[in-house]
């Protein structure tokens, strides 16, 4: 290393500091600001227009009397069904019965799936042994478990939860595993160099690093648990079970009331999408934005 003479050495630090500050200012990535109104138009308008078009086509098909009335109801009739549920307050009972089951089922799935996913991702024997099994279960429709669940548990909540669990646990666990697998190998190495032990490495490095993939798994897990729940409610109907959206749909079929069936499908759709938009999407967006991984919107 060359030894600079003293006058140079006196001058150098300040020089270096200002050059460095200049470089920092020039090299720092610049993010263009977004305007609120522009964002609304570009993001919220397309789906609204799409829905409006869909209703329009539906109305036109109904007006053309393409299919008989008992096959395709008028949009107004379906709306009347929903409105009646709202005014009588029955909609709250329907939502409550289904949503609280889905939430409880999802929470239990989470408690089972997280340790399971951690074990599969970190322990080779476990991965080889039950990894394929868990992936396989994900592609098995959980409705297939309804008959077995009814025979084992009878027509009660436990049967329904069993079906929801088998739907949600594999996708949450798989999401966690793929999230952990996609962690860049440099991060755990850095963690080790910074003094992380095995548990510290999992807690401070691996889990936060796997969060985006895990959130994807959660989203999918929610979709699966909602689907499984509706399937279970639709098949396992009994007065003891209370009336959820699935039973409501089933009743519509029994009464041959197509507008009721449409209303049921619509409500199931609204709840499923609503929870994704209100809970999972903001969560995912905030996590991704904090990491500079904002996707094209």
Partner 1 sequence: MTATVEASETTIRATGSTTAEVRPVRFHQVGKAFGHGRKAVVALEQVDLEVGAGEFVCLLGASGCGKTTLLNLVAGLDKPTTGRIELSSSRPAVVFQEAALMPWLTAAGNVELPLRMAGVPKSARRAKAAELLELVRLGGLGDKRPHELSGGMRQRVALARALASTTDNTGSGAGKPSLLLMDEPFSALDAITRDVLQGELLRIWRATGTAILFVTHDVREAVRLGQRVVLLSSRPGRVVRQWDVDGLSSAEEGGAVDEINAALRKVISSHAAA
Kindly list the residues in this chain that would bind partner 1 in the complex (CB under 8 A).
1-3, 12-13, 16-17, 19-21, 23-24, 27-29, 31, 184, 186-187, 189-197, 200, 204-205, 208-209, 211, 287, 290-293
Q: Nearer Cβ to partner 1, position 68 or 292?
A: 292
**How far, in Å, CA of 229 to CA of 161, rounded?**
8
- In the complex, the smallest distance separating the C-beta of residue 8 from partner 1, rounded to whole angstroms, is 11
Q: Nearer Cβ to partner 1, position 26 or 151?
A: 26
- In the complex, the smallest distance separating the C-beta of residue 197 from partner 1, rounded to whole angstroms, is 8
CB distance 81 to 249 below 8 Å: no
- For residues 255-287, b (16+ Cβ closer than 10 Å) or e, as one string? eebbbbbbbbeebbeebbeebeeeebeeebeee
Q: Nearer Cβ to partner 1, position 187 or 266?
A: 187
- In the complex, the smallest distance separating the C-beta of residue 7 from partner 1, rounded to whole angstroms, is 13
Q: Which of 87, 53, 85, 143 is nearest to 262 (CA)?
A: 85
**How far, in Å, CA of 25 to CA of 87, rounded?**
60
- In the complex, the smallest distance separating the C-beta of residue 2 from partner 1, rounded to whole angstroms, is 5
Please state the φ and ψ torsions of residue 255, each to the nearest 5 degrees: -85, 0
CB distance 205 to 191 below 8 Å: yes
Please state the φ and ψ torsions of residue 11, each to the nearest 5 degrees: -85, -35
Q: Nearer Cβ to partner 1, position 59 or 294?
A: 294
Q: Nearer Cβ to partner 1, position 17 or 274?
A: 17
- Collect all residues with Cβ–Cβ distance below 8 Å to 62 and sequence separation of at least 6: 72, 73, 74, 75
- In the complex, the smallest distance separating the C-beta of residue 141 from partner 1, rounded to whole angstroms, is 35
- In the complex, the smallest distance separating the C-beta of residue 29 from partner 1, rounded to whole angstroms, is 6
Q: Nearer Cβ to partner 1, position 130 or 196?
A: 196
């Amino acid at each position: 290393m060359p030894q600079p003479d003293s006058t140079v050495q006196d001058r150098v630090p300040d020089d270096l500091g200002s050059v460095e500050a200049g470089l920092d200012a020039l090299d720092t990535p610049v993010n263009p600001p977004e305007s609120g109104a522009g964002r609304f138009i570009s993001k919220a308008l397309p789906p609204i227009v799409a829905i409006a078009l869909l209703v329009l086509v539906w109305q036109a098909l109904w007006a053309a009397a393409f299919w008989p009335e008992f096959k395709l109801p008028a949009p107004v009739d379906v709306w009347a069904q929903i409105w009646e549920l709202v005014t009588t307050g029955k909609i709250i009972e329907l939502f409550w019965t289904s949503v609280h089951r889905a939430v409880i089922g999802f929470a239990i799935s989470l408690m089972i799936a997280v340790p399971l996913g951690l074990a599969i991702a970190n322990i080779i024997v476990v991965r080889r042994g039950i990894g394929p099994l868990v992936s396989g279960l994900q592609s098995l429709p959980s409705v297939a478990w309804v008959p077995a669940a009814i025979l084992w548990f009878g027509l009660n909540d436990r049967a329904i939860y069993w079906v929801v669990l088998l739907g949600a646990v594999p996708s949450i666990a798989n999401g966690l595993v793929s999230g952990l697998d996609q962690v860049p190998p440099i991060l755990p190495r850095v963690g080790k160099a910074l003094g992380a032990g095995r548990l510290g490495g999992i807690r401070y490095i691996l889990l936060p690093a796997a969060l985006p993939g895990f959130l994807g798994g959660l989203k999918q897990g929610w979709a699966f648990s909602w689907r499984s729940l509706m399937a279970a409610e639709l098949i396992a109907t009994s007065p003891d079970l209370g009336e959820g959206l699935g039973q409501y749909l089933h009743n519509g079929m029994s009464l041959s009331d197509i507008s009721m069936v449409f209303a049921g499908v619509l409500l199931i759709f609204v709840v499923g999408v609503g929870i994704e938009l209100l809970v999972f999407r903001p969560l995912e967006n905030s996590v991704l934005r904090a990491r500079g991984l904002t996707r094209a919107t």
